[in-house]
Structure 1
Amino acid sequence: MSTMAFSQNATIRGVILDENDTPIYDVNIKAGDLGTATNINGFYELKIPANQDVTIVFTHLSHKPITQTFNLKSGQELEFNPVMKVDVEQIGVVVINTNTRQSVTGVTTIAPEMIRTIKGAQPGVENILKTLPGVNISNELSTQYSVRGGNFDENLVYVNEIEVYRPFLIRSGQQEGLSFVNTDLVQNVDFSAGGFQAKYGDKLSSVLDITYRNPIKFGLRADLSLLGGSIAAETVSKDSKFSGIVGLRYRDNSLLINSLETETNVVPVFADAQTYLTYKFSDKFHLNFLGNLSLNKYDFKPQNRQTNFGTIDNPVALLVFYEGQEKDRYQTAFGAFKTNYFVNDDLTLKLITSAYHTTEEEYFDILAQYRLGEVNSNIGDEDLGEVEFSEGIGSQLTHARNNLDAVIVNVEHKGDYKIDEESTLEWSTKYTHEDIRDRLVEWEVIDSAGFSINPPNIDAFNDQPYSPYEGPLVAFQNVRATNKVLIDRLQAYLQYSKRTKLGEHDVFYNAGVRVHNWNVSGDAIESKSHTVFSPRAQFAIKPNWEKDMLFRFAAGMYYQPPFYRELRDSSGVVQPDVKAQKSVHFVLGNEYSFELWDRPFKLVSEAYYKNLSDVNPYTLENVRIRYRAKNNAKAYAYGLDLRLNGEFVKGTESWFSFSYLKTEENIEDRGYIARPTDQRLKFGVLFQDYVPSIPDLKMYLNLVYNTGVPGGSPSYADPYDYQNRLRDYKRADLGISYVLVDQNKTYNSSWKRHFKELTIGFEIFNMFDVQNSITNTWVRDVYSKRQYAIPNYLTPRVFNVRLSTRF
């Protein structure tokens, strides 16, 4: 038995950072026979003998070692936060290895500094996600994204192991302005496009796992642009027991929305406040709080619009004059407490409680009077582009009074036990209560040449102007429903992970299972209960080859128990019998690391296949999803994702990505048709560069090309009759910035001495001014009975300036 067991001890702990104040993972810390390593947050803790000199050595593959001697009293606790300097010869390895930690589990890790530097039109981490393979964002006004054929509702988002939610009623990208994730607070970003572990929840597509940082010193960061601004402050107490970070954001999308083809008076204001606080009662007990308050306020008064479409030989235009307005409000409040109890070095117990409250209003009355006709195409004519001959004249009156009030409460226990140095057992039990009160009132009246058009699904079809109609007027669409729904969920998972050897090869495997039971009840709703089991497994092997290769395989049965929106059918009525959508998922991946131009590169390849059953079909209008609330379809998705990343320009990280996807569904055995998210090809580029002679003058290029998705159909129509696709989505955003102050350019005098970082930048969104469309507006010519798909175009070229600073 070691004599250390009988000696008195002291404790030394801290956070190890690099020169950019970024925590360093897996720093090896040795004091004689004692040792430990830093976790993903750069944190370490080591007990050493008291009342004697103890030399501690901090080593890391890509940093210069640090040696320090301590002599502490019995029971004394000391915080030591060294800054490790980079070994110049291995700086490239540091850049490319930011995601080595997660390679075996198929998770992509994104450097937070890249997210903060490359802002783009999307206000958050989604601006980087859209350049990754398998991720599709075809609307710069939205932060919603689809992954490998899934829709917006199939993505999980966690912040510090706490699941976060989004508003329910958002129906247009213009109505949402901020991602939940505040990039100023981020320490680590992990993203999985499929085949994820059992510890993540029950969704079909992806996981975005965010870690907010625990500050180690005071700091202040601010960002200002024509689209809004943000400020974040962080601090830590003298005894290091309390630390906190607070972020405020404000965004005004007027610059983007006022560039659309519809002339409007619009006030799209979005603001939120977030905080992450930590208090360390002792070495063993830590308490965290995550809080968020947000307001989306959208006031919209359209005036007129002209959309030209058709062909050069047969140009057609839709000219619309508007009256009325839309007023939307989405107010959310979210708070979560997380306690960590470190029983010993091997066992950690956690308790997470959270509450989410949202109140949402959508009120609008908009009269659109339109002319559909041929366009004057005579070059030089003073009426060039004007509608000369009207093929259809009419009006459309839309009305909505939608209200939703929802409260979601969670209580979860999590734990992990390190069986040995190579094996870990993780578990969780979680209870969720959802209380949702919803009133849906929407109707639409269509008038053409002075008479009202009835929907074609009623017996008395309106055949005017060819024959008179004497029946009652019927709204073209009329949705009215009031719901009070209670949903109780009980979830649990258990998973085991192990690293080992297979001969001379390194092997990792993970196996786990989830169980999810939910019960739907409420006013005039017959109580229904369902249970699903979800086994999942991963296997990775790193062969002992001369070439640096890693192979991964993941498989699992993934369920998506219905959330409230999935229970509500197209008429607004809740259907408690809706079952969980099911996906049997297979993923085969490879990572090949190599050197090119004496710099590190990595090629990541993944092939996947999903077999879906009990599918709940839906229609997609911009970002609003309306489900049929029937498990009356089956589907499949398969594809290939490729990403090559590395230092194409020395000292910067860039990547090129490619995806192929095919996803189809079969509704009621009528045959397979493309799903609304069937985006076949995708190319993405995130490229960074700088001027060699002026290294402080930097550039980024964010380029996305997506082939078109199915363009949808009129709301009453059969999707089997409408399979035309939207035009391809092509977009390039360029940013140019100049660094006035950073760690390499500090000043002891002048006004610049007050800054740690100061950067001024200029951005061009949609640099090539491409006309992208997100949906179609369907206009009917009453004489020919034709339906015209009028594209709704997105933003043209827009210029922005930005100022970023850190104190």
Structure 2
Amino acid sequence: MKKLYVQSFFTIFLLLSVLASPAVHAQDAGIIEGSVIDRDTQQPIIGARIEVLGTTLGAIADMNGQFFIEGLQSGTYRLKATAVDYQPIVKSDIAVGSAQSVKLVVEMQIDAYQAGEIVVTATQLFNKAEDVKVSSNELSQEEIRRSPGSAEDVSRMVQALPGVATAADSRNDLIVRGGSPIENFIMIDGIEVPNINHFGTQGASGGPIGMINVDFLQEVTFSAGGFPVKYGDRLSSIMDIQYRDGDKNKLTGKFDLGLAGAGFIVEGPIQKGKSSYIVSARKSYLDLLLSSTGLTAVPNYTNFNLKATYELSPTHKLAVIGLGGIDRIEFKGAEDEDDPSNDHIEYDAWQSVIGLSHKWLAGKQTYVQTSLSQNNYHYGIDVDSAGTSEFSNNSLDSEVLLRSDLSHRFSPADLFELGLQLCYLRTNNDIFQNSWIDYFSVQHETLHIDKLTEAFKLGFYTQYTKTFYRRFSLTGGLRYDYFNYLNDPHAISPRASLSIDLQQNLKLNFAYGLYRQAVPLIWLIGDEANKNLKYIKATHAIAGVEYYPMEDVKVTVEVFNKNYDDYPASVANPQVSYATVGTEYGLLGMEALESASTGYARGIEFFVQKKLTQTLYGLVNYAYSQIRFKALDGVERPSSFDYRHMFTIMLGYKFSNTLELSGKWRYTSGKPYTPVDLEASTALNQLQLDFSKVNAYRFAAYHRLDIRIDKRYEFDGWNLVAFIDFENLYNRKNIDQLQWDEKKKRVDTVYQWSFLPAGGIKVEF
């Protein structure tokens, strides 16, 4: 780790040299281009008026809803869009430079009762879909990029939102209102993606390092509960990611260099003015720098991002989405005196997602999006001790998905939605585990699974949103899911939500519904009896207040109750519920399970966000919750994700168009843990836990401060952005977990990240 600090400070020295350089002022060469469309039907809004606030510049959307604004000085702007029949909208925090144009898609919401005129309601800086009433927030690309302590990673930025926690600094797992990382749904431009992280856990959605390039992002919508029926087979959260289009007029690029690695982006036109592509690649290089230092367990990874669009006609558009990653890491175990384990571990994995999406404007009020995609995840893990194989996993998980969603507006007050999803699953698993004793002193026989498994899923939904009496918006939906691998393959999920406009800037929101999720296929093949497992069920009940005291400030208060039923529980360890797994690196589900665990997550969340309109931006988030579960033994215990109090404050200030300072402080109550059984651990020389005190204790509270500095430079034909991020600035020793040192035969405390300076440079051309 000391070698890593040397490299960090060397990187920081270079960045400070750049930050100390004088700024270069560019000419008026900035461009904002994009399109204005109806949020629900995706129809172009012809004649929409676009204004760059604070300037005299603007544009009128053409017959395709497109606009083009040039002659802007480099800086940060707000864009306002108005149109007949639509609520006005403002896009803030638009960073304009001279090297590349800014590409925007402005989605406007129709006004249900003021058709035929320019709507005079309050301008919207905070947006959400008509059928989303509760627990939803949108993040722009710039908000994600500059978030302190987030390493330009969308998952780490989302952790600052209400109800979201993570298990450790070293991982991107999202624990949403107490839900396991297996419960999260991720979609990119209509393509379902199982995982967007390197070194992922099989069957879950997390991992330590994100694969998505932040420069690809248009915006991200995150929902922490009460989401509509179009999103199925998940219980806790939705992350809907929208990629931006590439440059449709000229070839441009970007190169970036930081502590974690180096990468590039290339984008340009396919049909000039109509279609484009954007592609990126990134490679870590810490393994190359530190290979001669003796430091072990350095992650080696590569990732790729792709989006290409092609306009077949004004009403038909194709898009190709691609995402891929290659991972490798090696723990030398007995060869490394600092490694507490004697195990030698090699991890090689790769994953890929490729999808084709067709958007069809079927009529003036009808929109259909159909996608076909395939994702693959290959796990290659070998663990041996003293030359004896202890564990190996050579698996390839594959899915082929067909999804079609239709949206039709009968009137400004009536929106109908219908959708179908088909999924073919194929897993080829070769898994071996030598006889072992688990953490609770239970002896397990040698396990060897060499099996090809095929299955399919079907999902169908219908939904209707009605606005009436000017103040009420009601959404009702019904979803049906089918999974042929289960002995009971059917699931029905009704949901409803209501929003009441008390005033122009004050709303009451409610949501209630059933959410059902099939357990991961890898858990089902662990034991033949696991086919008897049921769909996991969660019942969401949410009520909240949404208030806009100013145009750029949103305040929300929500109370939630989430009841869980039929969660898998371990038969061999009757005190263990699988509701608290998904944040580990090991393989889960290789045992007999029963759908016998129940639990609940309930709490209250307070959230304030200020968008950047002048110089100041930030958010404040406080949540109090209780998450508890029962396993087969019937004893109610705190969940491993029961953090009780969570508080985040993030503030940023733009001193000028070229210099920005931001900071984030995060606090959570200590997480529950099970104490170590010292006598049993010493006797077996491996970690053994006291099963009579599962999650009976708590670690000390977690808190840390992250500070980030951003500096922009404008040159003739190219731009440079440099940043420094000081993570855990005051070097708080936050506890991660307890582990057993096999070499010293003692319990050790593993800490979260200590103080770590990091940074990077981006060059746009």
Scaled by the length of structure 1, the TM-score of the pair is: 0.74
Q: Which runs of 5+ in 2 are unaligned?
A: 1-28, 81-87, 94-122, 569-576, 677-686
Q: Which residue of 2 aligns with 1:760?
A: 722
Q: Which residue of 2 aligns with 1:584?
A: 539
Q: Tell me, in whole angstroms, the C-alpha distance in 2 between the residues paired with 1:301 and 1:576.
A: 38
- Is contact 1:331–1:360 with CA below 8 Å preserved after alignment? yes
Aligned counterpart for 2:618 among listed residues 654, 675, 678 = 654
* Aligned 1:585-664 pairs, distance under 5 A: 585-595=540-550, 600-616=552-568, 617-618=577-578, 620=581, 622-624=583-585, 626-627=588-589, 629-646=593-610, 650-664=614-628
Structure 2 residue matching 1:409: 3-state secondary structure: strand
- Is contact 1:24–1:40 with CA below 8 Å preserved after alignment? no
1:321, CA displacement in angstroms?
5.7
Q: Tell me, in whole angstroms, the C-alpha distance in 2 between the residues paired with 1:78 and 1:457.
A: 65
* 1:15-57 deviation digits (Å, cap 9, x = unpaired): xxx97747576xxxxxxxxxxx5549998354xxxxxxxxx56
Paired residue type of 1:644: V
Q: Which residue of 1 aligns with 2:632?
A: 668
Q: Which residue of 2 aligns with 1:772?
A: 734
Q: Which residue of 2 aligns with 1:110?
A: 139
Q: Which residue of 2 aligns with 1:495?
A: 463
Distance change (3 Å), C-alpha of 1:676 and 1:349? same
Q: Which residue of 1 aligns with 2:365?
A: 346
* 1:86-140 deviation digits (Å, cap 9, x = unpaired): 589x999946944234486232001111212236355510121111121002422
Aligned counterpart for 1:81 among listed residues 58, 65, 68 = 68
Q: Which residue of 1 aligns with 2:107?
A: none
Q: Tell me, in whole angstroms, the C-alpha distance in 2 between the residues paired with 1:187 and 1:764.
A: 26
* Aligned 1:334-733 pairs, distance under 5 A: 334-366=353-385, 399-443=390-434, 456-457=441-442, 478-502=446-470, 506-520=471-485, 528-544=487-503, 548-569=505-526, 575-595=530-550, 600-616=552-568, 617-618=577-578, 620=581, 622-624=583-585, 626-627=588-589, 629-646=593-610, 650-668=614-632, 670-691=634-655, 696-712=658-674, 719-723=691-695, 724-733=697-706
Paired residue type of 1:145: L
Query: Quick one: percent identity of the two aligned structures?
Result: 19
Q: Which residue of 2 aligns with 1:265?
A: 296
- Is contact 1:186–1:213 with CA below 8 Å preserved after alignment? yes
Q: Tell me, in whole angstroms, the C-alpha distance in 1 between the residues paired with 2:672 and 2:389.
A: 25
Paired residue type of 2:298: V
Q: Tell me, in whole angstroms, the C-alpha distance in 2 between the residues paired with 1:792 and 1:256.
A: 25
Distance change (3 Å), C-alpha of 1:124 and 1:21? farther
Q: Tell me, in whole angstroms, the C-alpha distance in 1 between the residues paired with 2:170 and 2:290.
A: 8
- Is contact 1:612–1:636 with CA below 8 Å preserved after alignment? yes
Q: Tell me, in whole angstroms, the C-alpha distance in 1 between the residues paired with 2:506 and 2:533.
A: 44
1:478, CA displacement in angstroms?
4.7
Structure 2 residue matching 1:265: 3-state secondary structure: coil
Structure 1 residue matching 2:182: 3-state secondary structure: helix
Is 1:281 equivalent to 2:312 in the alignment?
A: yes
Aligned counterpart for 2:127 among listed residues 100, 117, 137 = 100
Paired residue type of 2:133: T
Q: Which residue of 1 aligns with 2:188?
A: 159
Distance change (3 Å), C-alpha of 1:217 and 1:685? farther
- Is contact 2:707–2:729 with CA below 8 Å preserved after alignment? yes
Q: Tell me, in whole angstroms, the C-alpha distance in 1 between the residues paired with 2:529 and 2:210.
A: 28
Distance change (3 Å), C-alpha of 1:185 and 1:761? same
Which structure has more RCO (C-alpha within 8 Å, separation ≥ 6)? Answer: 2
Q: Tell me, in whole angstroms, the C-alpha distance in 2 between the residues paired with 1:251 and 1:507.
A: 51
Paired residue type of 1:583: A
1:668, CA displacement in angstroms?
3.0
- Is contact 1:263–1:304 with CA below 8 Å preserved after alignment? no
1:281, CA displacement in angstroms?
0.8
- Is contact 2:146–2:152 with CA below 8 Å preserved after alignment? no
Paired residue type of 1:623: E
Is 1:208 equivalent to 2:170 in the alignment?
A: no
- Is contact 2:351–2:375 with CA below 8 Å preserved after alignment? yes
Q: Which residue of 2 aligns with 1:193?
A: 224
Q: Which runs of 5+ in 1 are unaligned?
A: 1-17, 26-36, 47-55, 71-75, 307-318, 368-395, 447-452, 459-475, 521-526, 742-751
Distance change (3 Å), C-alpha of 1:119 and 1:22? farther
Distance change (3 Å), C-alpha of 1:42 and 1:351? closer
Scaled by the length of structure 2, the TM-score of the pair is: 0.78
* 1:247-279 deviation digits (Å, cap 9, x = unpaired): 212235669999xxx984233111111211111
1:648, CA displacement in angstroms?
9.0
Q: Aligned pair count?
A: 664
1:651, CA displacement in angstroms?
2.4
Distance change (3 Å), C-alpha of 1:666 and 1:532? same
Larger Rg: 1
- Is contact 1:500–1:507 with CA below 8 Å preserved after alignment? yes
Q: Which residue of 2 aligns with 1:120?
A: 149
Structure 2 residue matching 1:247: 3-state secondary structure: strand
Paired residue type of 1:105: K
Q: Tell me, in whole angstroms, the C-alpha distance in 2 between the residues paired with 1:544 and 1:581.
A: 39
Is 1:243 equivalent to 2:200 in the alignment?
A: no
Paired residue type of 1:768: Y
Q: Tell me, in whole angstroms, the C-alpha distance in 1 between the residues paired with 2:212 and 2:61.
A: 41
1:58, CA displacement in angstroms?
1.8
- Superposition RMSD in Å: 3.9
Q: Tell me, in whole angstroms, the C-alpha distance in 2 between the residues paired with 1:543 and 1:58.
A: 29
1:728, CA displacement in angstroms?
2.4
Q: Tell me, in whole angstroms, the C-alpha distance in 1 between the residues paired with 2:534 and 2:290.
A: 39
Q: Tell me, in whole angstroms, the C-alpha distance in 2 between the residues paired with 1:283 and 1:61.
A: 27
Paired residue type of 2:556: V
1:563, CA displacement in angstroms?
1.8
Q: Tell me, in whole angstroms, the C-alpha distance in 2 between the residues paired with 1:91 and 1:699.
A: 27
Structure 1 residue matching 2:763: 3-state secondary structure: strand
- Is contact 1:144–1:152 with CA below 8 Å preserved after alignment? yes
Distance change (3 Å), C-alpha of 1:636 and 1:39? closer
Q: Tell me, in whole angstroms, the C-alpha distance in 2 between the residues paired with 1:23 and 1:284.
A: 17
Distance change (3 Å), C-alpha of 1:68 and 1:342? closer
Structure 2 residue matching 1:267: 3-state secondary structure: coil
- Is contact 1:178–1:251 with CA below 8 Å preserved after alignment? no
Distance change (3 Å), C-alpha of 1:789 and 1:105? farther
Q: Which residue of 1 aligns with 2:17?
A: none
